[in-house]
Amino acid sequence: MKFLILLLAGMCVSSLSAGSAIGGPVTDVLEATYLVGIKEGSSLSDIAYEASTRTYELRDGTVLDLEKWYGRKTVDMRFDFMTQTSERTGILWGFSTGERGKKYKIEPALRIGLIGLLQPMPASTLSFSITTTFAGRLRERSCTATYFDDGEAEPVNCRLAATVIEPAETLRYLWNVRPPDHTRLGFRYLLQF
């Protein structure tokens, strides 16, 4: 099940707007830190899940269910926080727990960034944010396959072993994917009337 408690940008705007209750320099980091989002799963997690739903036949017709290799043992959980540094600025930070299956893993990730708030007119706000993610790659392990009765075992991409791609060539398609939102720049304009 996936759920999203709060939309990151929207919540940050709200949090910064509420900053007037704090005022002055931030002296207590804990008091100035807000949980702005929790999410189960990720786009990388979805890639692995999709692979887990596939099957193919081995040479003798035995059906190989990829769920045994790409089923999740743990699920990637993402936590996002904002620590307010002034009435109109804050630090965005967070982390992901990572995910693991028998033939893949999503590394734990750390995110950090900034958010700022402008008020061009009394009834409007403009927020901007930038975040970058460290680590969090989706990586895949190879399988070992034997094709011929008199052949030797060789490393292959587990997902592509039964396609027409040359076994050694399949290794080029092993996952090594950065999180798609590893650098994120956001703007949000809100006009109230």
Partner 1 sequence: MIVSTRTVLFASVLTVAAFGSGLSGALAGEVAPAIGPLGAGPAFSTSAVQPWMSPEIGDAWRQGYKGSGVTITVIDDFKSGNFYYGNLGAGTQARRHGEWTTLEASMIAPSATMRTQDFSSGQTVRLNRGMNVLNLSYGMYAAAGYSANQIGWSAQESSIISYAKNGQAVIAKAAGNDRVAVGAANAAGQVDYLNAALIGAPTAIFVGALDRNGTPEQKAALAYYSNFAGDNVAVQNKFLTVGVRGDVTGLYGTSFAAPVIAGYAAVLGSKFTKATPTQITNQLLTSARTDTIQGYSASIHGRGEASISRALAPKVIQ
Site for partner 1, rule CB under 8 A:
56-61, 64, 143-151, 153, 156, 158, 160-167
- Which residue's CB is nearer to partner 1, number 66 or number 115? 66
Helix (H) or strand (E) holding 190: strand 183-191
Distance of closest approach, residue 99 Cβ to partner 1, in angstroms: 22
Give the residue with the Cβ less far from partner 1, 64 or 135.
64
Write the CA distances from 127 to 14, 63, 161, 184, 190, integer angstroms.
10, 53, 48, 14, 8
Q: Please state, in angstroms and rounded to a whole number, the distance separating the CA atoms of residues 100 and 182.
A: 20
Of the candidates 93, 101, 100, 79, the residue with the CA atom closest to the CA atom of residue 134: 93
- Choose between 2 and 59: whose C-beta lies nearer to partner 1: 59
- Tell the smallest beta-carbon distance from residue 56 to partner 1 (Å): 7
Select 2 or 172, whichever has its Cβ closest to partner 1. Answer: 172
Give min distance, CB of 144 to partner 1, in A.
6
| CA atoms within 13 Å, Cβ hemisphere of 1 | 3
- Least distance in angstroms from the C-beta of 165 to partner 1: 5
